[in-house]
Structure 1
Amino acid sequence: LIHSSPWPAAQNTITLVFTLSVPVQARAMAGYRTDPENRITLTGLQGTQTDMAPVVNLDGSAQNGVTWDRASGELSFNFTTLTATVNHTISFVVKNSGCEKPSPMVRMRIGDSPTGTALGPLGALCFKEVEVMRRPVEVCGVRDSLPLKVKGGPCSAGAGAPSSAEFT
């Protein structure tokens, strides 16, 4: 998870890069709508000054149905297909809080239902724990060069478990 500006009240481009080990294919539903399981939800984005749903870019997949709840800090959208073993990039712009505050814990979930849909049960999606080295940052005399961490998801929980990952 990368952000372009830590400064209060600044426009901030949030970028999340992830790779799946299995593809997620769109399953046909009534009309043009995508399967509700083909939905990405990001939570933990509280405190922004963004009133309207931001424009979400997800490379390699069409997306629609963007919903934004400023109070809860939840951004959600449908996608069509995600290919395995390639980097997928989600990006959107928010306006930072007017006051300085620590970066939130952002969680990503694929799918709305932990148990599946009428079309059948879901397999669990797994997010493995990785560290991404980042450049040293110095703000207000404090230097930080610890690696970013992605906390593992429900790989041991089995099929039907909620699929999510946490990013700091």
Structure 2
Amino acid sequence: MSIVDDVKKYEDWLATQCDVVQAGLDEKHERMARDPFKFFRATCFRFARKLFDWLPKLDRGPLVMSVGDAHIENWGTWRDEEGRLVWGVNDFDEAAMLPYVCDLVRLATSARLAPDLPGNNKARAEAIIEGYRRGLAAPAPHAAMLGRLRRAAKQSDWPHGHTDADNLRYPHLHVMRK
């Protein structure tokens, strides 16, 4: 399926789930056509559907609770439930159980496509891997972040049939197969 047809199919499905403003979609399409990073951000569903076609060995990795839409603009600061300012992932609407490397690949791809980042592509990828290694060496997930991730997964009304964050696996694939 072409990317144009895939986007159309996704947007047709989206219109069955919520009110869609056509002028907003038209503007989004214009931004996607002008900027590879914006295109990448706007087509997470396509990335999720095609990733294992492009890199089939990734499907064999251990499953972990993943962001699903990891990219450099999905990290930031927010106030947790106790009012503390915390830093971390700030967008969980694509959260799913995925092989652990999926978020790393998507994040590295976003770092490659993002304009105006310091360093070259190799340095960006190495920084991502180094941060991941440090996290493995001293794991300490922020309880508020894990809670947000679980709540986001449970609130999902996507027609993939899963509501339990511990049982989500590739929800983007289920959506597109309907």
Length-normalised TM-score, structure 2:
0.23
Structure having the higher helix fraction is 2
Larger relative contact order, structure 1 or 2 (CA cutoff 8 Å, min sep 6): 1
Length-normalised TM-score, structure 1:
0.24
